[in-house]
Every structure is written in C-alpha cells, then in structure tokens.
Amino acid sequence: MNDFLATIVARTRERLRDAPSPRPAPARDRFAFSRALRGGGKIIAEIKSASPSAGSIVPNPDVEAIAAEYARGGAAAISIVTEPEFFHGSPEWIARAAVVSGLPVLMKDFVIDERQLLSGMAAGANAILLLASLRDGDQIRDAVALLEEFGCDALVEVHDERELDRALEGEARVIGVNSRDLRTFRVDLATAEALASRIPAGTLKVAESGIKTHADIARLRDAGFDAFLVGESLLRQNDRAAAVRALME
C-alpha cells in the first residue's frame, strides 16, 4: 500500500471508530446499477468536490443541479465520491442525486469496514466501490456476497494484474480498471487496455480515469469496456449535459 492510500485508510479507521452499524432494507430495484450498464457505451458521470491529484474541482457542489444535467445528457448512472476529508464528499449526496436524476448511484469511498457497506446501502447506494488494493480475494468475495444479499452491486476496482487476480478470485461481476497510478497519479489508458483482455466474458468492464473525449471512449470500447466512469472532465464544463452527449456521440 502506498503512502497516499495508507494515509487515507488510517484516517478512515479513525473516523469509523465509533460509527454505527445500520441494517439497510433490501433494494426495491435489485442490481439497478449493473442492469443500467448492459448494452455497452454507457457513461457513469461522477460528482466530486475535490481530489488530492486535481485539488478543488467544484467547491460545495450543487448536487441536484449536476445530477439533473447528467441525466439530461444521457448518463446511465451517477458516481458519488463520499470520502469527506480528502475528497470533500458526503454520503448525503447519494439520495439527493438519485431523487433528482432517477438514475442508479454508485458510492465511491475507501471501504475498509462492513459498516461502510451497510451505511452506503442505507444511504441509498445501488452500487459500492471496493478497492482490490485493500482486500484479498476472500475478503472481496465476502463483501460482494453481503452487498448482493441486499440487491446492491459491487464495483471492484483494480490497477494492475495482481489486483485483477484478487477481483477474479473474489468472483466480482463488475470490474473497474483505473488507469491512474495511485503512487504517481499518472494516467495511462494503456493500463486499461492491457487488463481488459484478462477480464472474462460476461463480466461488466468499467474504465475509470483519464477519459476526456469521445476518442478516449472509442479507444476503450474497442478494448472491450462496457461503461466509462468520467468525473473531472465533465465537472469542469459549463454545459454538463452537452458534455455527456459529446462523449457518447
């Protein structure tokens, strides 16, 4: 684990010290996230306020307005970065985005504890990100099973071949390949292209990071990806609905 990730994990553990363990209700619309991504060429549009690599992106974002723009543009799902300290996010954004957009919502955080999974589902998440860098295959399988018990999808994120092996061992049904090196923050879409060929047929493949243009989408779709998670490049646009459409067209 690199220093950046270790720091976030340590701070997350502190934040969770006295956190409750809610019992969410089963999802009314089971596996809405993965179903929304079927068919290929789908955009997962992200809402985040800041990141360690980009700094401030959208201070105090108008979650409802952004989510509505994404829906008008044709996004298939919305990603919400909920980590509060380094990304300035909030779990409260999940329900706010879902109500306005009518789209399934992915919760992105640094999940190290079962309580985060339960809290995310209680907040209304249709899918929750699991970092393969933080879990072995058995731990991934257990987390996926817990989420699926409630009709919630797991998006298992990998950065390299070793992490992909963990995701496959954990029987992940949705795998995201992040082209950003968390040690250097350098982005290289070739990372996604190389790993895509090792993901079995029938597994939903999501490309993450570094996606800015329709050409990027076309390149990654040719590599076998079904969906594309796009954040910063959309958030910085004046007309986000048009920006989503431009990616798909």
Percent of the chain with pLDDT over 90: 87
The single residue of 42, 49, 101, 157 carrying the catalytic annotation is 157
> Does residue 46 have a pLDDT over 90?
yes
Beta strands in 99-233 (DSSP E): 105-108, 127-131, 153-158, 174-178, 204-208, 227-230
Residues 94-102: what's their mean pLDDT? Answer: 98
Query: Does the annotation count 46 as an active-site position?
Result: yes
For 55, the enclosing helix (H) or strand (E) is: strand 55-56
Query: Structure tokens of 94?
Result: 């999940």
- Write phi, then psi, for 238 (nearest 5 degrees): -75, -40
The single residue of 34, 46, 49, 126 carrying the catalytic annotation is 46
The single residue of 34, 126, 133, 209 carrying the catalytic annotation is 209
Higher pLDDT, 237 or 20: 237
> Does residue 57 have a pLDDT over 80?
yes
Instruction: Tell me how far apart the alpha carbons of residues 156 and 129 are, in angstroms, rounded to a whole number.
Output: 6
* pLDDT band (50, 70, 90) for residue 18: confident
Ordered domains of the chain (ranges, CATH): 3-15+41-248 (3.20.20.70)
> Does residue 1 have a pLDDT over 60?
no
The per-residue DSSP string of 233-244 comes to HHHT-S-HHHHH
Query: Does the annotation count 249 as an active-site position?
Result: no
- Write phi, then psi, for 45 (nearest 5 degrees): -95, 135
The average confidence (pLDDT) of the chain is 95
Query: Does the annotation count 157 as an active-site position?
Result: yes
| The pLDDT value given to residue 183 | 67
Higher pLDDT, 183 or 208: 208
Report pLDDT digits (tens) over 153-193.
Answer: 999 999 999 999 999 999 999 999 999 876 677 889 999 99
Instruction: Using DSSP bridges, classify how beta strands 55-56 and 50-51 pair: parallel, antiparallel or unpaired.
Output: antiparallel
Query: Does the annotation count 209 as an active-site position?
Result: yes
Instruction: Using DSSP bridges, classify how beta strands 153-158 and 127-131 pair: parallel, antiparallel or unpaired.
Output: parallel
Q: Which residues contact 121 (CB under 8 A, 6 or more apart)?
A: 24, 27, 128, 147, 150, 152
Query: Structure tokens of 1?
Result: 């684990």
Q: What single letter denotes the amino acid at residue 165?
A: D
